[in-house]
Amino acid sequence: MKSSLYQCKIFHKRLKPVERQFTYSVFMMSLDLDELDQLSKKHWLFSRNSWNIYCIRDADYLDEGTEKTIKEKLFDFLETKKFDLTKISTCYLQTFPRIFGYQFNPVSFYYLENDSGEVIATVAEVGNTFLEKKMFLIDEKDKRGWYKLKTAKAFYVSPFSKVNDYFDFQIGPKDEKWSININDEDDEGLVLVSTIRGHQKSFSTLRLSWYTIRYPLLTLRVIFLIHWHALIMWIRKFPISNKSGTASDQIEVLRPHKSLTKK
């Protein structure tokens, strides 16, 4: 089995209009999309498309309103970007699972490998608290072997960041030590620095049992922390970006909220 787990530290630092930072511990799953059914049969704490302590539902990823698998929907997206699907042998998904039925993913990552096990591209799936999604193909690699992309967001992520800012993705290799940087920038420079640093662990029932104790209600904790820090920033009168007022600037959004679809 190629799937594994990553024990991670997530760090956020806002640089303006005032500095604020926080760190929290999580774990993420690294899933070979062809192994989901096997993992469900092998590990009683994990299931696919049915309730469990840990669950992956195909409907939670990419577009909705379809019975396609995550992999099929990922390939549909890649086709829209003219990516050569014949080069892909294995697809890995790095993500938070549903935990006790609750799911929230601020960002998930896909790693696309060829027959030799070489990563040939990555995809970031960014989500917001409105459960909207936006996909970013990241297929240019630097000398370190990291995949990088600086691009306009054109997506509402937070009331405290602007839709017309930029994402600067820096996606490290999926090795024993895993690193991700996602910076938010405006025309004058860095606004927010976000990092994930992870250590690979085996995918086992024993470890999942331990994580149930170590990270209880993890996805609920993530969404609580997002709203807690948003409350603090609101109290401190941080500038707020209006979602419906920037609807025309939000493009290629999956699962659009009514603020984007109402006329």
Nearest to 197 by CA among 12, 20, 3: 12
Res 234: pLDDT: 66
Q: In which domain, by residue range, is 24 found?
A: 4-261
Residues of the chain with pLDDT under 50: none
Res 160: pLDDT: 77
Nearest to 233 by CA among 23, 20, 22: 20
Total number of domains in the chain: 1
Res 244: pLDDT: 83
Cα separation, 22 vs 232, in Å, equals: 12
Cα separation, 106 vs 94, in Å, equals: 12
Nearest to 108 by CA among 69, 140, 70: 70
Res 261: pLDDT: 79
Res 263: pLDDT: 52
